[in-house]
Amino acid sequence: MNGLRATLARIATTDKRAEAAARARQAVLTKPAGSLGDLEELSIRIAGIQGRADPCVDPGVIFVMAGDHGVCAEGVSAYPSDVTAEMVINFTRGGAAINVLGRQAGARVVVADVGVAYDFEASLPIYHKKIAGGTRNMAVERAMTREEAVRSLEAGIEVFEAEMAASSFGISATGDMGIGNTTASTAMASAFLGLSVRALVGRGTGIGDEALDRKIGVIEKALALHRPDPADPIGVLSMVGGYEIGALSGVILASAAHHVPVLIDGYISGAAALIAKALSPLSADYMIGAHLSGDSGHGLMLENLGLKPLLRLGMRLGEGTGAALAMILCSSACRLLNEMATFESAGVSVKQ
């Protein structure tokens, strides 16, 4: 708990003076005012987060947290739980979508096992932070203990801190791997947003109508059993969450504590962001909505977080793929702010 408390204590407001300086520079660059649209506001937001008028997000780090879910025993996914471990190995070999997009973005992809139901070789190039071999079945009992929930948060913080110590970076991104994690995320979103499961649920790995109805029933059963209180975010996480979701929340909180902008990926990352915001409302100021997921409830999560997605591509893969694409936009926004000439330096006449 000490690591979590210390991180929460370090989260402060963003730098309004840096924002003002970036806004002032945007006003004198060689372009009509506002002509670069959302890229202008994006650069100003990043300036405030980093506390510098000349923000730079290169290089970036994509944090992919992995964990399994006991609720898969209820038949809520189209894929078996074995896929979680198999995809973790695929990540280390560079063969997944996030590896491709991470390379394109010039970002390093960091993978951590926080709760996969498989014993990886110690030599595998991942962070070995396993709390347990998957959560318990939330439809029958708590997904994890409160102590395990805190450990998951602190695992994410520890991975972030280790990466920052190894080589500093300008932006972070959240990614996930865990068969069954849309079920946990929907339950958490319902608890935090006070909305029905049916209004929030997505098809996850691509389940059909029958499986979707079963998934809704399972989530409703778990919520009725545990009655999670949104005023107790650690309680919500322990009752119906996932180890990788908690770890992503830790990454988000650590990003805010270090004044590093954090790109929130899709549905699972949205649920993690809801925990982070509940633990520290100020952390939302450090979040950037990467994209709008193809899963129906994601937009409602982003609305609660006060985030406007940079991309709308109908993606619902997870892994941090939408965040990797958005990372390129963040880099472009900062480069435009820093590298464009001003009207004065370029000798271009200003409109009278």
The model's pLDDT over 228-286, given as tens digits with 9 standing for 90+, comes to: 999 999 999 999 999 999 999 999 999 999 999 999 999 999 999 999 999 999 999 99
**Catalytic (active site) residue 319:** yes
Cα→Cα distances 130→148, 163, 281, 282, 293, Å: 10, 18, 28, 29, 28
Average pLDDT over residues 56-79: 95
Domain ranges of the chain: 2-54+337-346, 60-329
Model pTM above 0.85: yes
pLDDT digits (tens, 9 = 90+) for 186-195: 999 999 999 9
CATH class of 2-54+337-346: mainly alpha
Find the distance separating the first CA and the last CA of the chain, reported in whole Å. 59
Helices (H), 68-145: 82-92, 97-105
One-character DSSP codes across 188-251: HHHHHH---HHHH---TTT--HHHHHHHHHHHHHHHHHH---TT-HHHHHHHH--HHHHHHHHH
Residue 325 has pLDDT above 60, yes or no: yes
Which one is catalytic: 154, 158, 244, 319? 319
Residue 213 has pLDDT above 70, yes or no: yes
pLDDT digits (tens, 9 = 90+) for 83-121: 999 999 999 999 999 999 999 999 999 999 999 999 999
Among the four given CATH numbers 3.40.50.720, 3.40.50.10210, 3.50.30.50, 3.10.20.600, the one describing domain 60-329: 3.40.50.10210
**Same fold: 2-54+337-346 with 60-329:** no
AA letter at 202:
G
At residue 1 the predicted structure's pLDDT band, cuts being 50, 70 and 90, is: low
Phi, psi of 245 (to 5 degrees): -70, -45
Spatial CA neighbour of 285 closest among 255, 310, 243 = 255
Residue 205 has pLDDT above 70, yes or no: no
Peptide bond into 59 cis (omega under 30): yes
